[in-house]
Amino acid sequence: MTTTVPHHLNLVDGEWVDGERRPNGNPARPGEVVSEYAVAGRDTARAAIEAARRAQPGWAGQPIGSRMDILDRIGTTILRRTEELAVLLSREEGKLLSEARGEVTRAGQTFRYYAHQLLQPQGEVYSSTRPRVHAEVRRRPLGVVGIITPWNYPIAIPAWKVAPALAYGNAVVLKPAELVTASAGELARIINESGMPPGVFNLVMGAGRVVGEELLTSTGIDGISFTGGTGTGSHVAQQCLAHGNKRFQLEMGGKNPLVVLDDADLEVAVRCALDGSFFSSGQRCTASSRLIVQAGIHDRFVEALAAAAGALRVGDPLDPLSELGPVVSPEQLSQNLDYVRIGRDEGATVVAGGTHRPDEGQFMRPTLFADARNDMRVAREEIFGPVACVISVDDLDEAISVAGDTEYGLSAGIVTTSLSAAERFKRDARSGIVSVNLPTAGTELHLPFGGTGASNHGPREQGGYARDFYSVPVTCYTGW
Ligand code: NAD
């Protein structure tokens, strides 16, 4: 009996465009093909950009009521199809079904949120210093936006870029990561069936150095919103500057600290670290990969966290009993295991995990290093797997200093019962997001998201702040 594998095509000007088909696998079940996708070449990307250019003025000119209706319909459809989309996402990316449900829900809510953002004021009026002059700041769309996304949030990241881009009157060409084309393909179907005029939203799937590069170098693109690794982000920045001085927004890597002070509730500290370091197999840019722990609680914390990490059930993400899924690819698994070796060679001690499950699938046990120092590679480089290291410190001053001693600056957390320590940390942590007594990895869609240093360049994403990237302020003076 032959079974048909679902497939996803590129979307250009409202038409589905085929290409060479490539399979997309399940990291929990090697050999299982989740879907096939049509690989786009530079010509398909060019056609998508041209279609977006033609469609953008008409879309921006539509009354906001009709833009709102379409965005709301996209969000509602995503929410109605949550279970089916979550299973697909979980099968192609490997996160637990419960996490995938949360991600799909977030994507749906994001479209609905931006539908309603259109009712917010879109400009400002100033008093002019000149007589009989009216001064105002209006917003106009950026134009055609290229959106380049990573694999670790296959639907939420495309949603939190595409939804505001469309809401503020832009046309979009989305290039998702190759590992997660099924989620992007389903999102494209939903958008295409929502009543969206052809060409306003386009999907091109393929290699970064081919279709991604076409977006970066094309004069038909006005801005790039990118999420991915810091190395790729630097390249994106250089290409945008070299090709038409495009506007760009980069959200990149992290090496996020979670500080645990002596006065912390041990249970809260372990819960925050377990979630922040290991859930989603540590494949979150906001994961707590450096646990900076004060000496008085250090040994109890390490013992309790190692026990809790060791007890996590690693298994198929669709099995409701699993607490940790696989890592995304064999390459990622081997990189994680390399870092285990590097950490040991540097003198850190593995107190939990350190190995992968020797059966089928890319399953890595949650891994905790004790006796780490902040100058070790495992404490400086983003591993992007279920690996965290514990660094011992004497007091809050040292904790803040170690937390900030990194090129990154995305998310930082502290576990403490001291109000003054929490306030100081919020003030002094060199980071775009700060959490107190919560995991570093939980964020909300209506609040700004982004980092500092090597984690970010450009305006914040999400919430009302997204408008700063997707629209251009125009200062208008009218004499009367
Ligand atoms: P990546 O940098 O390898 O790829 C990201 C995207 O860029 C992919 O779509 C890829 O195809 C594309 N790309 C690669 N080369 C390109 C080129 N030359 N031109 C144009 N596009 C190109 O990242 P990844 O492995 O997919 O994702 C993991 C990384 O993403 C981690 O570093 C993680 O921290 C980061 N991330 C950051 C955030 C955040 O908001 N700060 C969120 C999620 C993930």
Is the pLDDT at 4 greater than 80? The verdict is: no
The values of phi and psi at residue 111, to 5°, are: -60, -40
Rounded to the nearest 5 percent, the helix, strand and coil shares of the chain are: 45, 25, 35
Beta pairing class for 411-415 and 7-8: unpaired
Q: Is the pTM of this model over 0.95?
A: yes
Please give the average per-residue pLDDT across 118-145, as a whole number.
Answer: 97
| Two structure tokens written together for 191 | 């958008």
272 is known as an active-site residue: no
Residue 393 CA, chain-centre distance (Å), reads 31
User: What pLDDT sits at residue 1?
Assistant: 44
Provide the β-strand partners of residue 148.
175, 226
What mean pLDDT do residues 99-110 have?
A: 98
Query: Tokens 């919430």 — which residue?
Result: 463
Q: How far apart are the CA of 382 and the centre of ligand 1, in A? A: 13
Q: Which one of the listed residues 240, 272, 285, 389 is annotated catalytic?
A: 285
**Are 471 and 141 a contacting pair, CB within 8 Å?**
yes
| 360 pLDDT tier (thresholds 50, 70, 90) | confident
The pLDDT of 411-439, averaged and rounded, is 98
* Token pair of 382 as six digits: 């983003």
The distance from CA 273 to its chain's CA centroid, rounded to whole angstroms, is 20
Residue nearest (by alpha carbon) to ligand 1 atom 28: 228
Overall average pLDDT of the 274-301 stretch: 97
% of the chain with per-residue pLDDT over 90:
97
Distance (Å, whole) CA 133 – CA 128 = 6
What string of DSSP letters covers 64-99? HHHHHHHHHHHHHHHHHTHHHHHHHHHHHH---HHH
pLDDT > 60? residue 361: yes
* Measured distance between the N- and C-terminal CA atoms of the chain, rounded to whole angstroms: 78
CA pseudo-torsion sign 286, 292, 297, 300: positive
Task: Identify any residues that bridge with 350 across adjacent strands, giving them in sequence order.
Answer: 369
Tens of pLDDT along 35-47?
999 999 999 999 9
Residue 161 CA to ligand 1 centre (angstroms): 14
Q: Which amino acid is at 323?
A: E
- Show the ligand 1 pocket: residues with CB < 6 angstroms: 148-153, 175, 177, 208-209, 212-213, 216, 227-229, 232, 235, 251-254, 285, 382, 384, 410, 455
Average pLDDT on 453-475 reads 97
Q: Whose CA is nearest to atom 30 of ligand 1?
A: 228
Rounded distance from Cα 84 to ligand 1 centre (Å):
26
pLDDT the model gives residue 432: 97
